[in-house]
């Protein structure tokens, strides 16, 4: 049976102060009227068994996430006691799914991405489910690049796999510099790594056993089902035992059985403030504005205002964001550096 | 006897959102630890009769201003029912002073300027009081310019007057462009118009009679003393009757009996955000920062933060100000354009 595993662990640091630990990106309605996580679930609902969807999030957020997803049974929103990146979370989810459904095939979905074309996405996902079953491989969705993006990782696609529309993966490549990104765009065989994966749960656990033995060993201790009284304790021990490692680095880049489905589905990870001009309405001066603001003689700006008015004059290509927690001002081209701000605020104890 | 008249009518619009109508510039501690208006009074206290100081402010602010100046008797803080610029306010003050003290000589002081060197200022003021009595002229303080400022009006000084240290005024000149300001600076005979005036009250009222007859006519109706029950009503009729006109335009530029005392007293009108780097501590990167903030890879910025943290990355010569009311972002060189913001916010009814 088809299942969905939604990853909702982070809080979108690079969108501070709109995103905060208490009000993380996946709970915001960044595009459209519903939160990103609710849109994520709604987008795949026609294809997967909602009752057996799993949501992996932080312990402190689990209640809020569960409220946001009323169609997901409460015990299936799993609050991780500590964040250990994506590989341990996905491995635990795979184990829980395969325990009830040995034939389980699962799609792993980040909770905080935007996909503009839901119908096209479901077509691609159907193909990916087929390929996961037919090829027995780890399937990833590769987005055909629309610009020389330097903030995404890329997948170099290779020769066609057996299933039509599916390609072998030659290799995963790190975030490129501007020049390399332009070359990738022109080349045509490079795809953006979407972080969306499809595989049989048992096949993925085989790869975990081979490539992440420490995770596999810890997984043995998770015997109880979700509704069992001993699950919490077992999960706590699991998260204590596993290393912190991403599924990209720990599995995808090392496995020799990865294929990719190239697609055009209007995907955007909305990873930084500079991304918002792609999902928000942009006015005639190229400004993407939300909230009460006054924008004078300014072009190419992203202006977000809450809890008061935001007024800008004479700016070009600058992000200005105001919430009750704080104000951020940064040139769009340095939007990634919001991380530095967040690190400093954490160090000071200003934010959690 | 020497008296002081403190003008506290405006609210420092160009310093929005730090200044607001409810919390105007003159009540802020922009330099040092006390409010600008309290510092203004303290600065002249050794030279004037505190009991007969008059403070002209708006009706809505009078209570707050009186609290801020406990040494000024409450009835001497006059709440104007409507703002009519400086000439009517000063004329009313002169009339009230001369009524009790026909020999009154008065200094007119804006409540919201910074004067770094109080002792030097008092020396200059003593000289100006002497000159006002000896010359019978309208005396103004002219600040020796330290930079080619384009935001101030200038005074072209002429030949020496009878009193040593005092010069005739050739003319008042409007805010110059950059090139003209540089020429004024090099010339040496141009001084900044400080808006600080010293004269005999009766002499000033003569000039009002000659140059602003509508004001003089309205003044006839103000018969009652400050503590009289009929004063409020008389004042209301006065403000209804007078035109809105500045003392600079209405009197100083037209009178042929104006002299100037050139001085160096560390004067600054702190008229706009770009002025604050002159009165606030500036760090090694040239940033003037107040409040909780994170400033990364930025130079020459003015950052003010209240009610939350303000974080900036990669900015150059930008003003960023945050308060509970709003956030402002503007290049320093366009700081004067904060007026446009304030106009728009008034138009919308966002601010009063």
B345 touches chain A (CB under 8 A): yes
Cα-based distances in Å from A191 to A156, A161, A170, B318: 6, 16, 11, 39
Least confident of A156-160, B44-48, B223-227, B326-330: B223-227
User: Are the beta carbons of B295 and B279 closer than 8 angstroms?
Assistant: no
Look at A327 and B340 and tell me if their CB atoms are within 8 Å: no
Q: Where residue B324 falls among pLDDT bands split at 50, 70, 90?
A: very high
Taking 3-state DSSP, the helix, strand and coil percentages for chain A, each rounded to the nearest 5, stand at: 40, 25, 35
Pairing of strands A267-268, A114-115: antiparallel
Look at A309 and B327 and tell me if their CB atoms are within 8 Å: yes
Cα-based distances in Å from A319 to A288, B70, B115, B297: 9, 45, 37, 16
Look at A341 and B294 and tell me if their CB atoms are within 8 Å: yes
For residue A202, the surrounding DSSP H or E stretch is helix A201-211
Q: Where residue A352 falls among pLDDT bands split at 50, 70, 90?
A: confident
Percent of chain A with pLDDT over 70: 100
CA distance B303 to chain A (A): 11
* pLDDT mean over A210-222: 97
Spatial distance between the Cα atoms of A164 and B4, rounded to a whole number of angstroms = 90
Closest partner CB to B345 (pick from A297, A309, A313): A309
Q: Where residue B351 falls among pLDDT bands split at 50, 70, 90?
A: confident
Q: What is the ipTM of this complex?
A: 0.91
Q: Where residue B50 falls among pLDDT bands split at 50, 70, 90?
A: confident
- Report the mean per-residue pLDDT for chain A: 96
pLDDT at A49: 79
pLDDT at B194: 97
pLDDT at B352: 77
Beta bridge partners of B4: B107
* pLDDT mean over A107-117: 97
A222-249 pLDDT per residue, tens: 998 898 999 999 999 999 999 999 999 9
CATH number of A2-268: 3.90.550.10
- Look at residue B169 and give its three-state secondary structure: strand
pLDDT at A240: 97
Q: Where residue A45 falls among pLDDT bands split at 50, 70, 90?
A: very high
Spatial distance between the Cα atoms of B269 and B158, rounded to a whole number of angstroms = 24
A123-140 pLDDT per residue, tens: 999 999 999 999 899 999
Pairing of strands B326-331, B318-322: antiparallel
Q: Is B164 exposed, middle or buried (0-12, 13-18, 19+ CB in 10 A)?
A: exposed
A298 touches chain B (CB under 8 A): no
pLDDT at A337: 96
pLDDT at B49: 79
pLDDT at A96: 96
B70-106 pLDDT per residue, tens: 999 999 999 999 999 999 999 999 999 999 999 999 9
The full set of domain ranges for chain B reads 2-268, 273-348
Q: Where residue B52 falls among pLDDT bands split at 50, 70, 90?
A: confident
Rounded to a whole number of angstroms, the distance between the first and last alpha carbons of chain A is 39
**Among all chains, which residue has been given the structure tokens 């006059």?**
B78
Pairing of strands B167-173, B154-160: antiparallel
Is the predicted pLDDT of residue A333 greater than 80, yes or no?
yes
Closest partner CB to B314 (pick from A324, A326, A330): A330
Tell me whether the omega of the peptide bond preceding residue B17 falls within 30 degrees of 0, making it cis: yes
Interface test with B, best of A17, A290, A294 (most B CBs within 10 A): A294
Least confident of A245-254, B188-197, B220-229: B220-229
Spatial distance between the Cα atoms of B160 and B158, rounded to a whole number of angstroms = 7
Torsion of CA B145, B148, B150, B151, to 10 degrees: -40
B330 touches chain A (CB under 8 A): yes
pLDDT at A50: 74
Closest partner CB to A311 (pick from B297, B331, B341): B341
Spatial distance between the Cα atoms of B245 and B229, rounded to a whole number of angstroms = 28
B296 touches chain A (CB under 8 A): yes
pTM above 0.90, yes or no: yes
pLDDT at B189: 97
């Amino acid at each position: 049976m088809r299942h969905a595993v939604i990853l909702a662990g982070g809080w979108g640091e690079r969108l501070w102060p709109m995103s905060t630990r208490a009000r993380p990106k996946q709970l915001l309605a960044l595009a459209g009227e519903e939160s990103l996580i609710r849109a994520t679930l709604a987008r795949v609902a026609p294809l997967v068994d909602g009752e057996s969807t799993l949501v992996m999030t932080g312990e402190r957020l689990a209640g809020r996430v569960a409220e946001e997803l009323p169609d997901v049974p409460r015990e299936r929103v799993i609050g991780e006691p500590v964040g250990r990146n994506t590989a341990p979370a996905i491995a635990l989810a795979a184990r829980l799914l395969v325990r009830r459904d040995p034939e389980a095939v699962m799609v792993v979905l980040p909770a905080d991405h935007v996909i503009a074309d839901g119908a096209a996405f479901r077509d691609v996902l159907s193909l990916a489910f087929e390929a996961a079953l037919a090829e027995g491989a780890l399937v990833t969705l590769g987005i055909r690049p629309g610009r020389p993006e330097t903030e995404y990782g890329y997948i170099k696609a290779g020769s066609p796999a057996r299933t039509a529309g599916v390609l072998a993966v030659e290799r995963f490549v790190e975030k490129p510099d501007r020049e390399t990104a332009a070359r990738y765009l022109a080349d045509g065989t490079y795809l953006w790594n979407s972080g969306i994966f499809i595989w049989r749960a048992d096949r993925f656990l085989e790869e975990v056993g081979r490539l992440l033995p420490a995770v596999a060993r810890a997984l043995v201790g998770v015997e109880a089902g979700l509704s069992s009284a001993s699950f919490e304790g077992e999960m706590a021990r699991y998260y204590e035992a596993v290393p912190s490692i991403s599924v990209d680095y720990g599995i995808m880049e090392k496995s020799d059985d990865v294929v990719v489905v190239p697609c055009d589905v209007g995907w955007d990870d909305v990873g930084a403030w500079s991304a918002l001009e792609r999902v928000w309405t942009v006015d005639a001066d190229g400004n993407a504005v939300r909230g009460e603001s006054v924008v004078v003689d300014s072009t190419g700006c992203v202006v977000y205002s809450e809890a008061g008015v935001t007024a800008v004059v004479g700016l070009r290509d600058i992000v200005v964001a105001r919430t009750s927690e704080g104000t951020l001002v940064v040139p769009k081209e340095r939007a990634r550096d919001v991380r530095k701000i967040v690190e400093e605020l954490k160090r000071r104890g200003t934010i959690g």
